[in-house]
Amino acid sequence: MINWLDERLNMREGFKELLDEPLPEGVGWTHVFGSISLFLFLLQAATGIFLSMFYAPTPEAAHLSVSYVQNDLFLGAFVRGLHHWGSSFFVVFTVIHLLRTFIYSAYKYPRELTWIFGVILFNLVLAFGLTGYLLPWDQKAYWATVVTLNIAGTAPILGDVIQKILQGGEVIGSVTLTHFYSLHVIVLPLLTLGAVAIHVFLQKRQGIAPPFKSPDEEVKFKSRFWPDQLFKDGVAILLIFLILSGFAIIFGAPLEKMADPTDSSYVPKPEWYFLSMYQLQKIFPGNLEIIGTIIIPTIGILALILLPFYDKNPSRKLKDRKLALTLMTAAMMTVGGLTILGATDDRPEESTVIVEVQEGQESSRLQPPELSGRYLYQNETCMKCHNIGGSHGEGEYDLLKTSGDKSVIWLKEHFSNPTLAQPEKIVEQGSLTLDQITDLKSFYLRLSTSQRDELLTVTQEVLYSANLYSQYKCGACHKIDDPEPGFGPNLAGVTLRHDREYIYDHFLDPKKFDPNSIMPKFDWLPKEELNALTDFVYYIDK
């Protein structure tokens, strides 16, 4: 059969061309990392195909489908664990492969293009991680993507355009998930396959660089790729697969609760291989943010790509490359240090963590956060220090005359310790959450619009029910007057389609009306609150 195929495909000649390659002296166990990286890419592709068969790329179903694979599907947790930890292994061994190439000076003439495509592959590996961690649609996935897209938005000139293209609009939603899914399973695999093919072709055409040999030194060939080096590669790959399987079995793949876009108290962190950039963003705050998010990373990537062209030292010996090795060590220590700082620094980043309410987001309909903020204003300690145009409060500070540029983080500190702003007054300390403070700021911003009088005259029953709506995070799934779809139906117009009994019973058991509903039961709420929430749905359409 082999002879029959060889006559038609010339297999033996192809085998000789691909595998029967003489290797320079010194090539051995330190050269297995490229093959390990290739194996990990193929493993990621195989496990990714398996996972995609059960994945639904919509906000309503993404988390549920991943949870099904994780908890119910036979071997699903193991395969997802392989895919999750495989991404980290992929980054680690790609970095080690690049470092080995740098230390051996294998990027120098005539292998410049091989090095360039190696750096391109490294960036594609990072892009896989970037697009992949949104797909589970859990808290970490959602908020880490908020951080990432805000970083993209800091790019000069085209930053805002790039961010909107990736998001698919003004906010992160269903289109964002579809974009990331398409990039992760179609675009990036095709680009990576092409880059791998070119990289391997160039490596075979130029051969492996003789370790620590100068161009004028004689090179001795003492082994061949088949079977000598391929055996070493096979042993290393098997060992790495066993270790990776151990991670998948022992630690599994994490899955937090479903993404909650209204949970502004969540402090996101990206995957460990992006922590250095995350920390750079904190080092350069405000207008300097672009230095840490765009300028330094871009300089680093360009420095890697252009390395063969500005390192003119012809020697490959370590003793002749002290400056290059020192700079490489300093760069690695810097990245490692920033990664450690990013992992241990739990300070939230205002510009990326908190969902701020922006001026200009005015709708003709009063929104739940504004009504909830009105309720909190009169039921917390706000009225002891503030008033609104001379009424609606006992305090001397008119909210209509105060500055509105305070961030939610500043407001949280203010509510936790009001005497910082007014040392002469003794004010009871508040215990508001970031969500509640965000509602208060929404209320404050609405005061400067034409709906001020309406907001100040809303009945106590409506304010109470709006506060329940916010407290139970109904807005995490349901939108009102928002063109971007939520996890659940838009509540505007619901009372035109359903009667009161339907809405009330829907709170008790949503699956009774829709077996595929992801809404939890609220049958544990007292009747008073259930009636109030039902009334609020009617208020929306008033």
pLDDT in tens, 495-538: 888 888 989 998 998 888 887 677 788 888 999 999 999 999 98
Tokens of 476: 């995490």
Domains of the chain: 23-269 (1.20.810.10), 356-451 (1.10.760), 472-542 (1.10.760.10)
Q: How far apart are CA 420 and CA 409, in angstroms?
A: 14
pLDDT at 14 over 60: yes
Burial label for 290, CB within 10 Å (0-12, 13-18, 19+), is middle
Query: Confidence class of residue 360 from pLDDT cuts 50, 70 and 90?
Result: very low
**pLDDT mean over 410-427:** 59
Of the CA atoms within 13 Å of residue 129, those in its CB half-sphere come to 22
Q: How far apart are CA 105 and CA 124, in angstroms?
A: 23
Angle, helices 368-379/460-471, rounded to nearest 10 degrees:
110
Of the CA atoms within 13 Å of residue 167, those in its CB half-sphere come to 22
Q: Taking Cα atoms as reference points, which of 211, 212, 184 lies closest to residue 125?
A: 184
Of 80-89, 183-192, 305-314, the poorest mean pLDDT is in: 305-314
List pLDDT tens digits, range 266-311. Answer: 777 788 888 888 888 778 866 677 888 889 999 999 999 999 999 9
Predicted pLDDT of residue 431: 66
The SS3 assignment for 134 reads: coil
Predicted pLDDT of residue 350: 43
Predicted pLDDT of residue 187: 96
Tokens of 135: 């797909």
Most confident segment among 112-116, 130-134, 218-222, 488-492: 112-116
List pLDDT tens digits, range 439-477. Answer: 888 888 888 888 888 889 999 999 999 999 988 888 877
Query: Confidence class of residue 352 from pLDDT cuts 50, 70 and 90?
Result: very low
Predicted pLDDT of residue 43: 97
Query: SS3 sequence, 378-431?
Result: HHCCHHHHEEECCECCCCCEEHHHCCCCCCHHHHHHHHHCHHHCCCCCCCCCCC
pLDDT at 217 over 80: no
Whether the full predicted model's pTM is greater than 0.75, yes or no, is no
pLDDT at 27 over 80: yes
Predicted pLDDT of residue 417: 63
pLDDT at 53 over 60: yes
DSSP string, 185-223: IIIHHHHHHHHHHHHHHHHHHH-PPPTT--TTS---EEE
Q: Output the average pLDDT for the chain.
A: 85
